[in-house]
């Protein structure tokens, strides 16, 4: 329907419709940057699809001079999700956006125009008494992002959520695993491996490969999805660095390869540069589904945690919490924790500092 055309270093939008005369309509996007051109084309396409822009009849740079053009929330949702997908948001993030917006649409109706949404509608949806505080904040934050985008896109005059106070942050501390508990989990894996190996239930190296994986996760603080994608050519042993190719924010970053993490890798058979670092002996492919791998490893951790008789609240993600908690207990600042764990907001890092302070207070109280 529409495409970007590059001529002499400048970009143009070209629309096609075999029922129009001429069939192709081209106009300048007034930019030499391809990224900017793509964003502009998406906006023109969106407006064309909802009937707000006609490239054959309208001036591309003056057709939306009105302060804003009200839009039904269902159409706004479709446009918003498409824009976020083009911005590189993951499927999981898009699913969260969609779930919250569609739940709200279910209460007010899909044909409701954005300007007709009142603060009372939002307050009723966000502060439902049956919802946990964390769920209330999730709804508030997702709708805030969505409605703020609608204002920027001039399809909503004013954000009604600006008149509502955000729900209080639940006082919920991270469920971190301790180093001693990690040892117990790894020992449970070893015992399970020995027992099953003696009976011929697993091949050599089966199950036991999870031990260095769990230890590596604890000593690096890497997310499960990041470990699932980790290949040998992502590790720079000479400079002591790990390259995180795909993060939640889609950016590439490096983190230190500390001595404990490097020791964990010493128990892993080195593969070819593009081989995955952590894999079962039967895995021979050069590619995998990171989500499935992460879920399988998470299930394996829960089984080992249960065999070790540890707290039910511990999960594979508790290894990342344990990494951050270890830094906080060592007296590291929230800034250091934020950089090491690559948190998006320092408030997340502060939770570990608070938890370490509470632990210190408890120990002092016990001493006296």
Class (C level, CATH) for 73-163: mainly alpha
Per residue in 154-186, pLDDT (tens digit) is 898 888 887 788 887 665 667 899 999 999 999
- Res 64 pLDDT > 70: no
Tell if the pTM clears 0.85, that is, is over it.
Answer: no
Lookup: tokens for 278: 């952590």
pLDDT at 132 over 90: no
* CB of 179 closer than 8 Å to CB of 321: no
Q: What are the residue ranges of helices labelled H in the chain?
A: 34-49, 73-86, 91-108, 119-126, 133-152, 179-198, 210-220, 224-229, 259-265, 290-307, 318-329, 334-341, 346-367
pLDDT value of residue 15: 92
Residue 306, pLDDT > 80, answer: yes
CATH fold of 179-367: hpI Integrase; Chain A (1.10.443)
Residues 6+ apart with CB under 8 A from 347: none
The mean pLDDT of 324-345, rounded to a whole number, is 90
Q: What is the pLDDT of residue 323?
A: 95
* Residue 248: pLDDT band with limits 50, 70, 90: low
pLDDT at 79: 93
The whole-number average pLDDT for the span 199-212 is 92
Report whether 174 contacts 323 (CB < 8 A): no
- pLDDT, residue 261, reads 95
pLDDT (0 to 100) of residue 35: 85
| 325 confidence band (pLDDT: 50, 70, 90) | very high
Question: Which residues, listed in sequence order, are joined to residue 4 by a DSSP beta bridge?
Answer: 13
Backbone angles phi, psi at 344, to 5 degrees: -75, -30
pLDDT band at 196 (very low <50, low <70, confident <90, very high): very high
pLDDT of residue 159: 86
Q: 103-130, pLDDT tens digit by residue? A: 999 999 999 999 899 989 999 999 998 9
Question: Which residue would you say has higher pLDDT here, 246 or 159?
Answer: 159
Report the percent of the chain where pLDDT is more than 70.
Answer: 92
The yes-or-no verdict on residue 252 having pLDDT over 70 is: yes
Query: With b meaning 16 or more CB within 10 Å and e meaning fewer, what string describes 302-330?
Result: ebbbeebebeeebbbbbbbbbbbbbbbbe
Closest Cα partner for 325 from 173, 142, 122? Answer: 173
| Per-residue pLDDT, 366 | 67
Place of tokens 């490096």: 254
Compute the distance between CA of residue 76 and CA of residue 172 in angstroms, rounded to an integer.
Answer: 34
Kindly state the greatest CA–CA separation across the chain: 88
Q: What integer is the mean pLDDT of 198-212?
A: 92
């Amino acid at each position: 329907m529409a495409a970007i055309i590059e001529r002499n270093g400048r970009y143009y939008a070209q629309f096609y419709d075999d029922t129009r005369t001429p069939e192709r309509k081209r106009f300048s996007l007034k930019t030499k940057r391809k990224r900017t051109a793509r964003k502009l084309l998406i906006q023109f396409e969106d407006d064309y699809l909802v009937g707000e822009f006609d490239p054959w009849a309208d001036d591309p740079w003056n057709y939306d001079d009105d302060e804003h053009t009200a839009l039904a929330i269902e159409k706004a949702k479709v446009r918003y999700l498409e824009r976020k997908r083009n911005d590189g948001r993951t499927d999981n993030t898009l699913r969260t956006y969609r779930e919250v917006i569609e739940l709200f649409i279910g209460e007010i109706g899909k044909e409701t125009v954005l300007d007709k949404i009142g603060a009372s509608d939002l307050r009723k949806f966000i502060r439902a008494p049956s919802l946990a505080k964390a769920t209330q904040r999730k709804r508030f934050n997702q709708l805030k992002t969505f409605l703020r985008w609608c204002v920027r896109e001039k399809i909503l005059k004013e954000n009604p959520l600006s008149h509502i106070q955000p729900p209080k942050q639940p006082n919920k501390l991270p469920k971190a695993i301790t180093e001693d508990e990690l040892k117990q989990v790894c020992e449970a894996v070893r015992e399970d491996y020995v027992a099953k190996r003696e009976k011929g239930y697993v091949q050599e190296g089966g199950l036991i490969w999870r031990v260095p994986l769990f230890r590596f996760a604890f000593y690096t603080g890497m997310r499960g999805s990041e470990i699932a994608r980790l290949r040998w050519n992502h590790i720079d042993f000479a400079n002591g660095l790990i390259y995180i190719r795909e993060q939640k924010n889609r950016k590439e970053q490096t983190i230190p390869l500390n001595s404990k993490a490097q020791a964990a890798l010493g128990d892993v058979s080195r593969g070819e540069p593009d081989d995955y670092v952590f894999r079962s002996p039967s895995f021979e492919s050069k590619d995998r589904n990171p989500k499935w791998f992460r879920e399988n490893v998470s299930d394996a951790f829960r089984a080992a945690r249960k065999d070790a008789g540890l707290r039910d609240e511990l999960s594979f993600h508790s290894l990342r919490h344990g990494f951050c908690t270890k830094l906080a207990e060592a007296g590291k600042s929230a800034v250091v924790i934020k950089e090491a764990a690559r948190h998006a907001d320092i408030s997340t890092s502060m939770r570990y500092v608070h938890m370490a302070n509470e632990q210190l207070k408890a120990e002092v109280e016990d001493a006296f």
